[in-house]
Each structure stands twice: as C-alpha cells, then as structure tokens.
Amino acid sequence: MRFGMETTVMNDTRGLPYRLRLPGPTAVPERVRHEIAGLVVDHHGPEFHALIGEIQSRIRPIFGTRGKVLTFAGSGTAAMEAALANAAPPGTPVLVVAHGQFGVRFGQIARALGCAVDMLEVEWGTAPDPAVIRQRLEQRDYSVLCVTHNETSTGVTADLPAIGELTKDRSTLLLVDSVSGLAGLPVEQDRWHLDLVIGASQKALMCPPGIGLVGVSAKAWAVIERSHGGRFFWDFRKASAALDKMESAFTPPVSLLAGLAEAFRMIDEEGFANVLARHRRLAAGLRAGLAALDFAPFPREASSDTVSVMRMPEGLDGNAVIRRLYEGYRTVVAGSRTHLSGKLIRIGTMGHVSESDILTDLHYIERTLTDLGRAPREGVGVAAAAALLARPPAERRAAA
Ligand code: PLP
C-alpha cells in the first residue's frame, strides 16, 4: 500500500517523513518490513518449523517464562477473548480490575462470553491497589482475575508482582493484558505467577498489527485441559499440540511471523535489558520535555515507560494539537478515545524508538504550540529532554 508516499523513505513533498508515534501500532523497522516482504513458505515445511522454533526460543525472556507462548492471527483484543474463552467457560465467576479503557474492555469481553463478571473500578490515572484486590478475592471465590498490565488509555502500569502474589496460592487464574507492556516493560510470567499473559505484535514488538500472543502457565494449562466447548479456532489445546510439532493448528500469518522473528533478533542484538532501559530512559526524557511545555502527567503514580499520557496545557484543545501535528509535521500521536477526549495527548515510547524520535517529537510539538498561538520559549521542551537524556543513568532514574 502506498498511501501516496514512498514505501521506504516516505517523505512528502515538504521532505517530511511519516512519523507513527502512537502507543500502537508503532513504527516498524526496515529490517522487519524486509523480512515480511520475503518468500511465503509452506507452513508445514522445514522453513516454517525452523521459524517457529526460533520464535519460541527468543520469546521466552520477553515473557519471562519457560512455558509455551501461543501465537494467533488476530489483534490484542482477539488474544484477550481467546484467553478468556479457554480459561473461563460461561458462568465462570470473573473479577475484572479496570483502571482504564482496556480494563473496561476485558469486562465487556468476559460478559460477552457469558461469564459472571464483577468489576473492580479503579480511578483512572491511579494504579490498582493490591490490598483492595485481595479484599475482593476474599469476598467471592473467583476462578479468574483479569488485570491490565499497562493501561494505554491512562499511562499507568499495574504492580504485577504484588498482584501475582494474591493468586499464586489460590485456584484463581490471573489473566494479564500486557498488550502495550510486553517487550517494553519487564514481564516475569513464571516468577510473578501470571497465568495467561497477553500480547500483540504492533506495540513494543515492532511488527505490524496481526499477531496476538498468549503465554500460558502450568496452572492455566491444568484448567484449560479440563474445560470444554466455547472455542474452536482459539482452542489452546489445538494450538499447543500443533506447537509441539513446530506447527500451527490453522494457516498462520507466515509473513508476520517472519517479521516477528526478525524483531526478536533485533531485541537480542541490543540485549533485552538494554531494550528495557532504553524504554525507561526515553519515557523519562519525553515526559521531562512535555512538562517543560506545561503538559502535566495524567498518571498520579506508576507512570508507564511505554506510553506517556499527558494533560493539555490550560485552555488548549488536545484534538487541535493532534490534528496540527499530523497536518503540519506528519507526526501521528493519539488523543483519548474516552470521556477524556480533547484533554489528553498520548505518545508511544515503545518499540523502535530512539532519542532522536523523542527530540523530534518535542520540536514538532513546540512548533505546533506556536502555530496554535502559544509561542513557548524556543527549544524549551527539547532542551529539557536533552538535559535529562544526557544525565548518567542513576541520576536520571531519580529525576524521573
Ligand atoms: N489492551 C491494551 C492495553 C491495548 O493498548 C490495546 C490496544 O491498544 C488492546 C488491549 C487491544 O489490542 P488490539 O487493538 O490489538 O485489539
């Protein structure tokens, strides 16, 4: 697809590149796009077997698991539904913690599947309190607890290690939506006792949309093996049996999986610990720059390292800023798709992002503010970010 632009350089007549700076989908590196454009191979053949083997071995540190990670053709929402369809047959008592839009979606999916859903609503911009979750788990015998790891709508990260402690000695399965966390934030599925960890290709995994991923714990497998009905394509038992033969139960998105393997190679070349440190560092830099431009962090605590969610400066319409950034500077950032529309700006710091992306974001935001009559002191946002990014790592952590 050309969308009126060069497929590789993508400059418009002004020489401006298209800049996808959303909290997903994110920019896909050239190397990954090149792999995706490669030969489509037989999904029962040796090339595909090798590809699946490589994906399974490289994916383990990212999920922090020695268990299986299943991949499906589908988006993050599909993977959420698949996880629930396997772990929570109709009538299952499910507690959903919602600290933003995607927690609400978890509840909608569980209800659509006929589960007996209770919601634990958490004020948006704050993190779920493990003590409150514990109280709720003590009030009713829930089979499943759903939590959003990284709330992309609010920019808040949940305390997964503490939440995992709550379910590890209960029969309750912990389902974690880490669609916008995985590969950009630490996830230790085994150590933190997370039963089903859900991811998607188009976020920190640096691929186009189209692959949903689910890591499955031994405790989850015990439930899934016993549960019947309610799924066919999404049946994890079929997916697992196929994976044992380095195959896929149904025709897989071969080209996207080739891209995913390349993304994993890139992560391994950089070193996964360095990838996580880069996400932390760039998020802190972007927030410092935006703060210097009078944007205030939306999260009151536990700010995410993969998405910066900021309130607009007083009197400024968020949607006007977003529109101007695109029309003037071909920079695509997100607003809010909720009741907070116009009040927030959301920018991704996940995946294939570098310091120059952050500084360019801030430069264009400064120019946008000027275009909209705000005239900030020239370079103030860029300078604040550059100053933070220039600090040695320990100092940087304290300031963030
Ligand atoms: N969960 C979270 C935290 C997300 O950020 C998203 C997408 O932005 C989803 C779920 C849904 O994923 P998808 O849009 O791939 O269906």
- Check residue 397 and give its pLDDT: 58
Domain 39-268 in the same topology as domain 19-28+271-399: no
Q: Name the strand (E) or helix (H) holding 150.
A: strand 150-151
Tell me what pLDDT residue 10 has: 64
Tell me the C-alpha to C-alpha distance, in Å, between residue 158 and each of 37, 164, 204: 37, 11, 17
Q: Find the 179 Cα to ligand 1 centroid distance in Å.
A: 6
Q: Among 124, 149, 152, which residue has the most ligand 1 atoms within 8 Å of its CB, making it the best to mutate?
A: 152
Residue 398 pLDDT: 59
Kindly list the distances between the CA atom of residue 295 and the CA atoms of 66, 307, 348, in Å, as whole numbers in the listed order: 42, 14, 16
Domain 19-28+271-399 fold: Aspartate Aminotransferase, domain 1 (3.90.1150)
Q: Answer yes or no: are the C-beta atoms of 92 and 144 closer than 8 Å.
A: yes
Pocket of ligand 1 (CB under 6 A): 24, 75-77, 102, 148, 150, 152, 177, 179-180, 200, 209
Ligand 1: residue of 71, 102, 153, 202 to mutate (most ligand atoms within 8 A of CB) is 102
Q: Does domain 39-268 sit in CATH 3.40.640.10?
A: yes
Q: Cα(302)–Cα(295) distance, rounded to whole angstroms? A: 17
| Residue whose CA is at the smallest distance from ligand 1 atom 2 | 179
Supply the pLDDT for residue 2: 55
Locate the ligand 1 atom nearest the alpha carbon of residue 209 and give its number. 15
CA 17 to chain centre: 24
198: CA distance to ligand 1 center in Å? 10
Q: Which atom of ligand 1 is nearest to the CA of 77?
A: 16
C-alpha of residue 174 to centroid of ligand 1, in Å: 18
Check if the beta carbon of residue 147 is closer than 8 Å to that of residue 158.
yes
**d(Cα 332, Cα 179) in Å, to the nearest integer?**
20
How many angstroms separate the alpha carbon of residue 387 from the centre of ligand 1?
33
Tokens 């995946």 belong to residue: 351
Residues of the chain with pLDDT under 70: 1-10, 394-400
Domain ranges of the chain: 19-28+271-399, 39-268
Tell which residue, 164, 179, 236, 177, has the closest CA to residue 26: 179
- Cα 76 to averaged position of ligand 1 atoms, centre (Å): 5
Which residue in 245, 256, 263, 233 sits closest to 41, CA to CA?
256
Q: Which two tokens stand for residue 330?
A: 């071909």
CB 350 within 8 A of CB 307: yes
Q: Give the distance (Å) from ligand 1 centre to CA of residue 141.
A: 28
Give the model's pLDDT for residue 399.
58
Helix ranges restricted to H, 88-227: 101-112, 130-139, 160-167, 218-226
Whole-number pLDDT of residue 13: 84
Q: How high is the pLDDT of residue 6? A: 45
pLDDT (tens digit, 9 = 90+) per residue, 38-87?
A: 999 999 999 999 999 999 999 999 999 999 999 999 999 999 999 999 99
